[in-house]
């Protein structure tokens, strides 16, 4: 039997994120937890995975490899400079690059981005998706947060309250999600 003295087994992988977006009542919110894990070990509990982009009129959150996500954020910001106030166009152009560029194709991340009018999910397979019901979750706890948000959407709660409650539910279920939240909000046209 070969023993590996490495404290992180070869099969260990990074689990890093729950990101949720909710659009309701004139606001769009993107919330992200702060936990980064390697295998069964919490490496960091206060990572910032949600931020404002461009001139502050776009917000985004990422799931996946941190360096890859920052590369994608930088590329998206460049596209937003090229196509100001056109989030969908900038996202489609980024997705084209991501899908066809040999370097970018290897990036392992997903993103949720939103402006006043549009919410989009971007993936490395070239997808640019507008989520149903104006809510979406990505990452290891994303489906738990999404389910909770869908259940809360018809309640008399504002978008941020729905996001906070949904993220708390995801953190109770997903061991790779914590309650150290970063939340960004924009006024919405919907």
- Residues annotated as catalytic are 17
Q: Provide DSSP, the chain.
A: ------SS-TT--EE--EEEEEEETTEEEEEE---EEETTEEEES----EEEETTTTEEEEEEE-HHHHHHHHHHHHHHHHHSTT-HHHHHHHHHHHHHH-TTGGG--EEEEEE-SS-EEEE-TTS-EEPPGGGEEEEETTHHHHHHHHHHHTTSS--HHHHHHHHHHHHHHH-TT--S--EEEEEE---
């Amino acid at each position: 039997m070969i023993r590996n003295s490495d404290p992180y087994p070869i099969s260990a992988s990074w689990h890093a994120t729950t990101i949720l977006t909710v659009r309701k009542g004139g606001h769009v919110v993107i919330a992200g937890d702060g936990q980064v894990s390697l295998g069964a070990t919490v490496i960091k509990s206060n990572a910032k995975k949600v931020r404002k982009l461009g001139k502050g009129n776009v917000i985004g959150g990422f799931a996946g490899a941190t360096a890859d996500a920052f590369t994608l954020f930088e590329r998206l910001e460049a596209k937003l400079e090229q196509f100001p106030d056109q989030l969908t166009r900038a996202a489609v152009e980024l997705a084209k690059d991501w899908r066809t560029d040999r370097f970018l194709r290897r990036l392992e991340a997903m993103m949720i981005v939103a402006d006043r009018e549009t919410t989009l999910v971007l993936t490395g397979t070239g997808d640019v998706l507008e989520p149903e019901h104006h809510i979406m979750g990505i990452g290891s706890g994303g489906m738990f947060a999404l389910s909770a948000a869908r259940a809360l959407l018809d309640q008399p709660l504002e978008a941020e309250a729905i996001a906070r409650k949904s993220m708390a539910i995801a953190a109770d279920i997903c061991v790779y999600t914590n309650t150290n939240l970063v939340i960004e909000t924009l006024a919405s046209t919907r």
